[in-house]
Structure 1
Amino acid sequence: MTKVTSLPADDVTCGWFHLSQPRKPKPHHVGNKNARWVIVGAGFTGLAAARQLALNFPDEEIVLIEAQEVGFGSSGRNAGFAIDLPHDIGADDYIGDLDTANISLKLNLTGQTMLKTLVEQHRIDCHLRPSGKYQAAVEDRGVAVLEAYRRGLDKLGQPYEMIRGEDLPGHIGTAFYRQALFTPGTALIQPAALVKGLADSLPANVTLYEHTAITDVQYGEKTVLTHRSGRIVADKLLLTNNAFGARFGFLQGTMLPIFTYASLTRPLTADEQARLGGKEFWGLIPADPFGTTLRRTHDNRILVRNSFSYNPDGRSNPKYLERFVSRHRESFERRFPMLPDVAFDYTWGGSLAIARNHQGYFGELAPNVYGALCCNGLGVTRGTVTGALLADWLTGQRNELIDFLLASPGPNRNPPQPFLSVGVNANLLWGQRRAGMEA
């Protein structure tokens, strides 16, 4: 018997969740149930796996289990970038090996296309727009990153536009940045709205249980999942719960639950919109990975995301919200001095599953137990495509994308505690300080 020692527990202040269309959660599971296919984790990966299994096995029931409410967890807490391009921060030109980069591009584009198709087919109101993204720099080191990435995009044959600082106010309003690299292929979304819409449009043979946190697991010929109100027996179990997969006994000591934090302002008034200028809907990521991400949303709010914490149990910690909201305010005021009285309506945290070698896991974890885990911050597109491809692989399908994922070495092992926590926290602190004005 494996006891699940830590259960998801996110803060209740996620702006995306509260501003998205309310939905009635599906009931939690009660009693005993047997099913051939059971999936744990109803984020982007689990929803995609459930949908694809249901299409591959239309006469079979697919059981999807979510510990919290759909849209409330990590998939509904990101900055809302459905990114198409690879971005290998370990490579000099941020592209690295060309063959690997091309496969990564195909994976991301496949996931993006899946989401666009589902949004259109089911009329999901998630404000998806093919707006592209800006990657912007303030300091010399950030400008060098943009130049390196431009060389990589040339090698990959992908379009971009390099924008000078004096021209940026016409795009994003603020004159804060010295330079930006614009790539047109990113789609911007309201993530919680998308996740809710995906859940409410699942095929009829998917049974979704929300607020059903698994507390114990017994592996064997069949897997027995126990929760406070009963148990579910699975012939085949799929884990799509990212870093919490380690709590189920797999990939222990490999994935790092890293939280990042965001604040969302009140809507800008007509006068404030005029003072800001620029386009009415855009997204910007920093040249430095520890810098600040920005969004201008469909309802004229500004999102500011920066700051990181290492939460080994994968659960939210209120002390970080109190600490980081002041950083968000400082970052906002530096970038938008023309908006002096715009308050934040929401501040929240959300977790990423990160591996030190930036590799995910795809395939068999144990007999009749499978996983698509560790999205390394690309959960929107990469989670979607790996969930769907895992379902296809389980039907016996093979293609170059599945073969690429199966060949991955997976997340590498971390040093033991307490050295791990000391090292991760020191790296996060150093990275955030090194970001300088990019933060």
Structure 2
Amino acid sequence: MMKVTSLPADDNSCGWFHLSRPRKPKPAHEGHSTARWVIVGAGFTGLAAARQLALNFPNVEVVLVEAQEVGLGPSGRNAGFAIDLPHDIGAEDYIGDIALAKSSLKLNLAGQSILRDLVDQHGIDCQMKACGKYQAAVEDRGIAVLEAYRRGLDKLEQPYQMIEQDELPNHLGTHFYRKALYTPGAVLLQPSALVKGLADHLPANVTLYERTPILEVEYGAKTVLKHANGSITADNLILANNSFGMRFGFLKGRMLPIYTYGSITRQLTSEEQAQLGGKPYWGAIPADPFGTTVRRTPDNRLLIRNSFSFNPDGRSDSRYNERFIRRHKASFDKRFPMLPNVNFEYTWGGALAMTRNHNGFFGELAPNVYGALGCNGLGVTRGTVTGQLLADWLAGQRDERIDFLLNAPGPNSNPPQPFLSLGVNANLKWGQYRAGRES
């Protein structure tokens, strides 16, 4: 029997969660039960795995366990980009090996397609817009990144448009940026609304338990998951809880729980919308990975997302929210000086499950224990498709995408503590400083 030494504990200030449709959480698990399939983690990966297992095994109960409320965790806290294109920041042209890039593109496109179909099928109100994304630059370094990425997109034969400084206000309203690379394939959405909607439209043979953190695990021929009010015995366990998979005894020292932080404004008035100008909704990511992501939402709010912290226990720390809201306001004021009276309504942090080599894990962790872990900032699309493909593989299916994931090298090992924290924190601090005006 091993104890789970750190449990999810996200702050309660996530704007996406509070601005999305309220829902009644499913009851927590009580007593002692058994199931053929048990999934831990009801984010994009876990929801996709549960849905597909239920379809592949229609006469079998699939149990999905979530430590918090659905939509409150990391899947509901990101910037709301369902990204299609690969973006390898370690490669000179940000594409790298063309065969790997094409495989990644296929996976991301499949994740988008799955989500679009589910949103259409169930009428999920999550502000989904297939409007593409801008990658915007201010500094010379950032413009060099855009030029390199353009060369990579040419190699990958993907469409794009390079937009110059004088044209950008017609797109984004702001005069802040010098250049942007627009790619049409990204989908923007309200992430917490999407996660809630997916959870409320699971197949009938999926049983979802919320507010059921697992405290102890016993591995063997069957896996026993113990919580405060009972236990669940699983013939097969699937971990879809990203960096918390390390707390269940797997991939120890191979994932990095990196938190990034977002703030969202109140709704803009009609007069403020006219002062801003530009398109009615859009999303811009920074050319520098440590810069600021900005969105204008369909309900006329502005999102600022930047700043990072390394939280080794994977848990939120409200002190960072208080510290970074000042940085968010400075970033907002630089970009939107025409909106001096617009303040933030919510500020929150959200975890990314990063790995040093940007590879996640897919497959068998131990006998009768499986996982799809480490989405490296692509949780919306990559989490969705890997969750579904894991369920297909467990049902005996194979295709080129499953083979690609099974044959991937998996996450690298991290250095030991305290060198890990020292190195990660120094890298985050230096990266944010070097981003300059992109921050």
Judge same fold: TM > 0.5, yes or no. yes
Q: Does 1:361 align with 2:361?
A: yes
Task: Point out where structure 1 has 5 or more consecutive residues left out of the alignment.
Answer: none
Partner of 1:68 in structure 2? 68
- Name the SS of the counterpart of 2:69 in structure 1: coil
1:242-298 deviation per Cα after TM superposition (whole angstroms, max 9, x unaligned): 000000000000100000000000111111100000000000000000000000011
Question: 2-side partners of 1:277 and 1:317: how far apart?
Answer: 36
- Counterpart-to-counterpart distance in 2, 1:100 and 1:357: 14
Partner of 2:152: 152
1:91 maps to a residue whose letter is A
**Identity over the aligned pairs, expressed in percent?**
74
The aligned amino acid for 1:192 is S
> Counterpart in 1 of 2:48?
48
Query: Distance between the aligned counterparts of 1:24 and 1:226, measured in 2?
Result: 24
Partner of residue 418, structure 2? 418
1:118-157 aligned within 5 A:
118-157=118-157
Give the Cα separation in 2 of the matches to 1:379 and 1:109. Answer: 13
Q: Which residue in 1 is equivalent to 2:212?
A: 212
Structure 1 residue aligned with 2:434: 434
CA drift of 1:16 comes to 0.1
Give the 3-state SS of the residue equivalent to 1:376 in structure 2: coil
Report the residue type matching 1:347 in the other structure: T
- Hey, what's the Cα distance between the residues in 1 that align with 2:313 and 2:376? 17
Distance of 1:309 and 1:98 partners within structure 2: 32
Deviation at 1:136, TM superposition (A): 0.2
Unaligned runs of 5+ in 2: none
> In structure 2, what is the Cα distance between the partners aligned to 1:83 and 1:353?
16
- Measured on the aligned residues, the alpha-carbon RMSD in Å equals 0.3
1:175: how far off? Answer: 0.5
Residue 179 of structure 1 corresponds to 179
SS at match of 1:351: strand
Note the alpha carbon deviations across 1:93-113, whole angstroms, 9 max, x for none.
000111110000000000000
Question: Is 1:245 aligned to residue 245 of structure 2?
Answer: yes
Alignment partner of 1:114 is 2:114: yes
Query: What are the superposed Cα offsets for residues 371-400 of structure 1, whole Å, 9 maximum, x if unpaired?
Result: 000000000000000000000000111111
Q: Distance in 1 between matches of 2:385 and 2:396?
A: 17
Q: Which amino acid aligns with 2:331?
A: S
CA offset at residue 3 of structure 1? 0.5
CA distance in 2, matches of 1:398, 1:2: 33
2:85 maps to 85
Q: What letter matches 1:218 in structure 2? A: E
Alignment-mate amino acid for residue 220 of structure 2:
G
Instruction: Report the equivalent of 2:105.
Output: 105
Counterpart-to-counterpart distance in 1, 2:168 and 2:367: 54
**Separation in 2 of the partners of 1:21 and 1:269?**
22
Give the aligned length: 439
Partner SS, residue 342 of structure 2 = coil
Q: Is 1:291 aligned to residue 291 of structure 2? A: yes
Q: Which amino acid aligns with 1:116?
A: R
CA shift for structure 1 position 409: 1.0
Instruction: Tell me the equivalent position of 1:26.
Output: 26
Q: Which residue of 2 aligns with 1:409?
A: 409
Which residue number in structure 2 is paired with residue 11 of structure 1? 11
- Deviation at residue 406 of structure 1 after TM alignment: 0.4
